[in-house]
Each structure stands twice: as C-alpha cells, then as structure tokens.
Chains A and B, each alone.
Chain A
Amino acid sequence: MFSSKRLTLWNRARICKAKPIAKIYRSQLPLLTLRVDQAPLLAIDLEMTGLDAHRDHILSIGWVPINRGAIDTEGAQHWLIKTDREVGDSATIHGITDSQRATATDKKQVMGRFLNACRGRLLLFHHAPLDLAFIDRSCRIAFNSGFRPALIDTLAAERKRLARHTDSIGQGALRLAACRERYGLPSYSGHNALADALATAELFLAQVSADGDSPVSRYLL
C-alpha cells in the first residue's frame, strides 16, 4: 500500500513542470517511510471568501510546523492576502475587514513563501479537500501546475477512528472544535487561519499520541 503512494508521488515529481512544486514532491519522498511521530509536518489553514475555488478567494493563510512530535511556534506564520474583490459578508466570519486588507500582501509573494515552508514536510489540514482546492487553483494560475502533495487530514483520520467505534457519526462531530474536545484539548478562539492551523496541529498530536510508532503512511490521505 505504502509503496504505491510513494510511487505515485515519485511520478508526480517527474511530471511536474513547476520547479518549486516538484521540489516539494521530491522532498516528501523520504518522509513516507518515517514513523508518524518523527515526520516533519506543516499544519495549514486558509480563510476564504466562500467555498468555490473558482469563484472565491483566499483571504488569509496560517501555518505552523511540527518537528519530531512537537509544534514549533517559532515557525508559525500568518498572512493576509490582497484581493481585488471586497470582503463583503465573509468579514463577519473571519473578522478581517476591508481596511485591514490594506496591510495585506500580494498573493504571489505569499504563495512563494508558503511553498518554501512546505519543502521537506508532509502537509496537515483539517478537512484537506477544501483548502487544497484553493491552493491548487492558485498554483495553476501562478505556475501553470496543480498541487497534489502528500498530506494528512485530521478530519479523515478522526472519521476513520470514530467509524471503528460507532455505527453513525453525529452531525458536527467532525468539526475541529468537536474533535479537540474529545481529546481534552482546550477551547480556542478559532476563525483566524493561524489559530486554526495551530488547533489542527494540536489535534494531530493528540490523535497520534496513542500510536506514535506506526508508519506515517497509515495517516496519509
């Protein structure tokens, strides 16, 4: 099973024409055989104006690295991204106002830094498909290449774990806050990309605390 994942990634690295992205794929190859508590990871969260990667925009992105089973806040970063569109209604959800956007950074610049941060790490999301769709879209525009790195999804991992214990998973049981509560993790403010990335990283540490010596491939999406 895990050799096939490795092969896929190796193939993607060969095919990919965008250098920064290919570099990420290659850097991830040796990570796939590590123990889950030893793998370097980058926990990521995005805030968007909506759910449609083709119509909506990324407002902000936050990330924080995990090294040998410990979150390093020194590597934590939080970026507001410039958009042409007005923030509108989503401002009430994300707490980012149009005036704050004045301090935002150009999207291409942020994406460059983001891809740098990804190198040598497996990516970690809570509900990866949504965030990944937006990053993928951005990469297609900027580098003319999709973005499909090796990644772990704490939501998928939790669904798998719950499915082993219960017949049906209740509504809302897989939300980040609900998952954290099951592990006795403290409540957090939420709705800030960095806070959510950190909350995701902590959830992951709790999830793997029971089986740190299993291979990381067990958790790959």
Chain B
Amino acid sequence: MSSGELTDIQRFLSQASPFAELGDELLAMVSGNLQIIYRRRGSPIALDQRLYLVRSGAVELRNQDGTLIDQIGPGDGFGPRALVDHNGCDSAQCSEDSLLYLLADGLFEKLCELNKPFRRFFTVPHQSRIRLAVANRGDTLSLTAKVGSLLQRSPVTIDSSASIRSAAERMSEQRLSSMLVCDNGRLVGMFTDSDLRRRVVAAGLDTQQPVAAVMSPTPITVNADSFVFEAIVTMSQHNIHHIPVLDNSGQLAGLITTTDLIRAQRSQPVFLVGEVFKAQSRDKLAEIASAVPDLFARLVEADGRAGDISRLLTVVSDAITQRLLQLGEQQLGAAPVAYAWLGFGSQGREDQNISSDQDNALLLADNYCDEQHGDYFAQLTAFVCDGLDSCGYVYCPGGIMAMNSQWRMTASDWQRQFRRWINQPEPKAVMHTSIFFDLRVVAGAAELAQPLQQTILHGAAENRIFLAHLATNCLKHTPPLGFFRNLVVEGRGEHKDQLDLKHKGSIAITDLARLYALANRVSAINTSERLRDLADTGALNRKDVRNLLDANEFINTIRLQHQAQELARGQQPDNYVAPSTLSSLQRSHLKDAFHIIKRSQELIARNFLGGG
C-alpha cells in the first residue's frame, strides 16, 4: 500500500518557500493533505481559515478597502489576515486561470508548531526575514578577518623617557625585534633592532640616553577594524615589517608583524597585493591583475559578504593604481608639484565589483603651472589610465579619467567646479555629476583634497535646490516591483525577462545613502558607512538603516553570485539576473529587499520633494 508518492506535488513544495524548509517527512504529510482547485481568471477566492498556495497562474490580494496589496504567482502562499501576519489579505481574486493548493484545515497550525522556519516565514515581517537570510551566512572567509583578530598578547611597551639600554634589555629578554614607545597609552614611537644598530651602536651613542632620542616617531599605524588585507597593503606600500595597531579611540591595541600576517593569510589574495607592489612593469601588473577574476570567484564561492568582497576588490584596484603611479614616477621622474589621485563612483565608495570601469581624476596643488608641468602630468596620467585599462579596469565610457585634461585641475579649480555643480544644479547635470560626490583620495597627497571635501560637505547640505534635484534623481530608479507577480522583469531588449539588479537595486540604495549623507553633512563615502553614520546622527531611523543595509547586502550577494557564475561560464559578467534562475526563497527575499527600497523612496519624496 502506498498513499504517498505524490512526487510531483512534493517536488513543487520543496521548491516553494517556506515549504522548502520542511524536510521530506513533513513534505509527504503536506502533499497528502491538500485540496486542489482550479479557478478561472477573474474568479474571487473565498478565504476561510486555510492557507492557499499558487501552483500555476496568478492571484491578486487586496485589503479591506480594496487596495491591491500584492500579486503573487507560482510558489507563493496567501491566506486571511487572521491566519498569517504576512501575506495576509482580506480578499483574493485570480488574475489568471490558476491552479491552487489549499492546506487541509489545521495543517497550517500544525506545521507552524512543528517547524520553526515555516512559522517564522509567516509571522515575521519582510525586513526581519531578509535579516535572517543575511545573518545566517557564516563569516567563514579568512580574507575578511580583521586586524584585531590577529592580536595575541598585549603589546610590550616602554616609556619614552626610559633609557636605550633598558629598552634593549627588555627586547632581548622578550625576544622581540621591536618595541613600542608609549606615554600614557598613547603611541609616540617605535624602536627596532635596526634603530639600535644604526642610530645607537653605529653612531656610538650613550645608551643611557632616553629612547625618545632614537626612536622612529609617529609610526604608520593600522586600525584594529581594518582588514588584515589592508594592513598588508600598507606594509607593502611602505616596506615595513612591523605595524602598531590602534583601537577606535586611538589607544594602542597591539603590534603585528609580517610573520603574523603570513601565518594568518596563506591564501593567494595576500600575495596578489604583495605582488602588485613588487611589480616592475605595467605588463607585469596586468599579468598579476589577470588573477583578479579568479580571486573574485573564490571569494564568492567562500560565501563572503558582498560588502567585504567589494571592499577587497577596491583594495586591489587601489593598490594597482598606487603602484602604477610609483612606476610612472620612476619612469618620468618625481612629480614637480604635489597631487592627489581621486577615485570616484564605485572606487570612491569602496564598492567595486568585477566589471567596474575606471572613474578617476587628478587634483593638483595650486602652484601647478600648465606650461611648466602640463606635459608631465599628461604623461603620468596616461601611463596610469592605460595601465588600469590593461589591468581590466576599462576606460570610463564617459571619459571621467585623469588622462583627459578636463579632469586634471588645481585644488582651487576643483573647488569652483564643485561649487558650480552645487549652486547651479541642472536636473540633467545632477544625474551625471552625482558620482563625483563619491570622492576618495586613492593616492598622493590626501591633505590637498581636504578643503574640497569640506566644501562638498557643507555646500551641499545648505542648498535645498541641489538636494531636490538629487532626490528627483534618486527616484528615477524604482525597484522592479509591479502588479504582476511582484518581480517586474525587463520587457524587451537584450535582457528581456531579466532583472536589472544594479540599476533597480544597488544604485537605488547608493543614491539614497548619498543624498542623505550630503543633506546631513556626513563625510563617509562608503554606502554602508554612510547609512550607519546617518543612523548614529539620528538623520535616519536606525531600523530603516538596518533594513537598507540588509537589502543592500542581499541584492549585492545575488549580483556577485550571478557574476561569478557568468565568469565560470566564460561570459562577460553583467548585472542582469533572470528570476527563474533564483530559488523561491531567494526570490521572496529579493521581493522583501525591493519593498524596503520602495518604502525608503517614498520617504525621500516626503523629505526632499514635499510630496507624499
């Protein structure tokens, strides 16, 4: 005897969230306790105390006053409000000929009792559901380890007034090759074996002198929250083997050495950046950069968080830019005037992905003189931009590159340029200039750009018209949630039936974070940091920020996974995903994420455009 074997039904259920979580035994129970009905387009569906599941077709859900809440398709469930908090409705009607499954009386309650994920699906609202989805992914990626995690013992320190001799004694006692010099917990310098050799023994100095006289003052440091990866970059860049670690309050937290790093990070990306700074030619750099897609694929495969992967990719592209500038200066001679290499857009936001192009510019010190220095910088920037292109960061289609003379300006000219953008905004220009407001100094003299950053920070917040234009621009990219089956795919063109996750998803959140950051004088550039700072300053509700962060992480995770799959198939990675290639659970999380964006955009309209 076998009353089971409703294999088609079980297979369908196992692909429909939340049933997918039930396991074979419960699935068999559900499949044997269903009623199946067929309703023609336009038929109302009588809601009793049971849960419905759409097997084929589509159903419109409405609330009490007849407003359309949702339109759902195969794999989606619905029921009366009294039964389910989420997906609850007051009336339902078929908008297509539909085959529907009805759970037998009491079965829904029983499943809720027996299975926690199932219960959570129906009782927890969108925002929390997507949070669970994001949080359930373990941070197993050693590459995203933070510097703080490498610190093993409390640092051995010595006062700056202590004698050189006592410092040397303690170093040999503790078998240390370096010692940190601290006054009241504040790092003031570092004293190493080589300092002892060069500045003390070789110079015949009295070892009763204070350490302060021979230490290296204000050493380069790294924050405990930085990626180990970033510490490696800093150390490679400055060719140092020890780096003190500070906590967020600026207090000394410890010291890490090259040995610590090699022990912790045997994986290739570490070497990749190490190699970048060792490369002696552009060709060598391009060869090293050709490993980036592979690195990306492995990061995605390891289920790294999307935000972390983008930051790591940015660390790589920053390093390549920095090395290209070093190589360029080696070839052309040192720069005649100080400059700052600016990264815009995704590089500025530390949000690069595998298909990012280059958006950069040069900011020159005001003593720059076109006749005298013009040629030099034209050559240097061409050297770097060409190099970036051959490393896979293709030329910017809009020409926003330091190699174009238009985008090489003195600090004062940049000031004027930004003031013009802010004070005389044109609706169209705002769209094209918004990426300039995601500005970060990638290499060179960072302090040169500070006055400009101040201008942006204060100028934008004071100009309501500029903000209104920016807000209008934010609302251009509405999330693809429509009446028909919720996820609206592209209707035509090359990407018919696919979702544009970049323009309809991530960019909407990026634009939103930029708008609120500029309006509230938040200096952060990275989207997540902007949102977090906005929550800290109270400009945005903390709950909304958490929801947006989760939505951003989820959309980008899907995006990166999609790109990794395309790379694996030898295709050019893009941002278009066909919903049919996603699991039912992913689809419902994606809908949740888009709901969150949609609500935030309504808030923008109210806050900046006076609409409702």
Contacts and interface: CB of A to CB of B under 8 A. Distances in A.
Interface of A: 69-74, 76-79, 105, 183-186, 188-189, 192, 194-195, 198, 201-202, 205-206, 209-210
B96 A184 contact: yes
Nearest to B98: A184
Contact of B99 (A73, A186, A189): A186
29 contacts: A70-B35, A70-B36, A70-B37, A71-B34, A71-B36, A72-B34, A73-B32, A73-B33, A74-B32, A76-B32, A77-B1, A185-B38, A186-B12, A186-B55, A186-B56, A186-B99, A188-B8, A189-B8, A192-B5, A192-B7, A194-B5, A198-B8, A201-B36, A202-B99, A205-B37, A205-B38, A206-B97, A209-B97, A210-B40
B1 A79 contact: yes
A27 to B, nearest CB: 22
B277 to A, nearest CB: 57
Nearest to B57: A184
A147 to B, nearest CB: 22
Given A195-B7, A198-B6, A210-B40, A73 B56 contact: no
B31 interface: yes
Contacts of A184: 56-57, 96-97
B3 A78 contact: yes
Interface of B: 1-9, 11-12, 31-40, 55-57, 74, 96-97, 99, 102, 104
A10 B184 CA distance: 107
Nearest to A188: B8
A202 B38 contact: yes
Contacts of A194: 5-6
**Interface pairs A-B: 9 shortest CB-CB:** A205-B38, A71-B36, A70-B35, A73-B34, A186-B56, A78-B5, A70-B37, A188-B8, A209-B40
A82 to B, nearest CB: 13
Given A79-B2, A209-B40, A74 B33 contact: yes
B99 A70 contact: no
Most B C-beta atoms less than 10 A away, residue of A71, A73, A205, A210: A73
B57 to A, nearest CB: 7
Contacts of B3: 76-78
A69 B487 CA distance: 32
Contacts of A186: 12, 55-56, 74, 99
Most B C-beta atoms less than 10 A away, residue of A79, A105, A205, A209: A209
Contacts of A77: 1-3
Contact of A72 (B1, B35, B56): B35
Contacts of B55: 186
A15 B212 CA distance: 119
A54 B413 CA distance: 98
Nearest to A205: B38
A71 B2 CA distance: 18
Contact of B35 (A71, A78, A192): A71
A96 to B, nearest CB: 12
B54 to A, nearest CB: 11
Contact of B2 (A73, A78, A195, A210): A78
A151 B494 CA distance: 51
A206 B94 CA distance: 14
Contacts of B37: 69-71, 205
Contacts of B102: 70
A35 to B, nearest CB: 16
A215 to B, nearest CB: 19
A205 B102 CA distance: 15
A74 B104 contact: yes
Contacts of A71: 34-37
Contacts of B32: 73-74, 76
A106 to B, nearest CB: 12
Nearest to A195: B8
A71 B101 CA distance: 9
A168 to B, nearest CB: 26
A73 B53 CA distance: 14
A192 B2 CA distance: 13
Contacts of B40: 209-210
A105 B1 contact: yes
A57 to B, nearest CB: 19
A202 B4 CA distance: 18
B36 A73 contact: yes
A98 B412 CA distance: 88
A186 B39 CA distance: 14
A56 B96 CA distance: 43
Contacts of B74: 186
A78 B6 CA distance: 9
A188 B9 CA distance: 9
A206 B56 contact: no
Contacts of B7: 189, 192, 195
Contact of B36 (A188, A189, A205, A209): A205
B6 A76 contact: yes
Contacts of B96: 184
A209 B2 contact: no
A99 B476 CA distance: 64
Nearest to A103: B2
B33 A209 contact: no
Nearest to A110: B1
A189 B74 CA distance: 17
Contacts of A76: 3, 6, 32
A176 to B, nearest CB: 13
A185 B99 contact: yes
Contacts of B99: 185-186, 202, 205-206
A51 B6 CA distance: 26
Nearest to B5: A78
Given A77-B3, A186-B56, A194-B6, A202 B36 contact: yes
Nearest to B36: A71
A183 B97 contact: yes
A207 to B, nearest CB: 9
A158 to B, nearest CB: 15
B468 to A, nearest CB: 47
Given A70-B37, A71-B34, A73-B31, 19 more contacts: A71-B37, A72-B34, A72-B35, A73-B33, A74-B32, A74-B33, A76-B6, A185-B38, A186-B99, A189-B8, A189-B11, A192-B5, A194-B6, A195-B8, A198-B9, A201-B36, A205-B36, A209-B39, A209-B40
A73 to B, nearest CB: 5
A185 B39 CA distance: 11
A206 B40 CA distance: 8
A215 B34 CA distance: 26
A113 to B, nearest CB: 8
A70 B2 CA distance: 22
A199 to B, nearest CB: 8
Contacts of B4: 78
B6 A73 contact: yes
